[in-house]
Amino acid sequence: MAKAKTTARGYGHQHQQLREQWRPKVEAGLVDCARCEQPIQPSDPWDLGHNDDRTAYTGPECRTCNRAAGGRHGAAVTNGKRAELRHSRRW
């Protein structure tokens, strides 16, 4: 199955514009990760982070921090759905 386009995944024009605004500061080594608060090195990969409900951006984040948070959130959603299924029968 093909991966959805960036806009369909929530990374459209606004996201790309904001990321470009941050890029010079990140590449100069002037930005700390919004999650772990450690410096993002100019050579480190980074993502533009957002809160769990995607209503606001948090700022640049280490790619590791950002994707781990996304994985935890996705697992919580999946596990929550599984819990609902286990207890969905009405007695």
Give whole-number Cα distances, 84 to 1, 74, 77, 80, 88, in Å: 27, 15, 11, 6, 6
Domain 13-84 listed as CATH 3.40.1800: yes
pLDDT in tens, 29-44: 999 999 899 999 999 9
Give whole-number Cα distances, 71 to 14, 76, 81, in Å: 23, 9, 15
- Integer Cα distance of 7 and 16 in angstroms: 10
Q: Model's pTM, two decimal places? A: 0.69
CA angle 50, 52, 58 (to 5 degrees): 25
pLDDT in tens, 34-90: 989 999 999 999 999 988 777 889 999 999 998 887 667 666 667 666 655 555 555
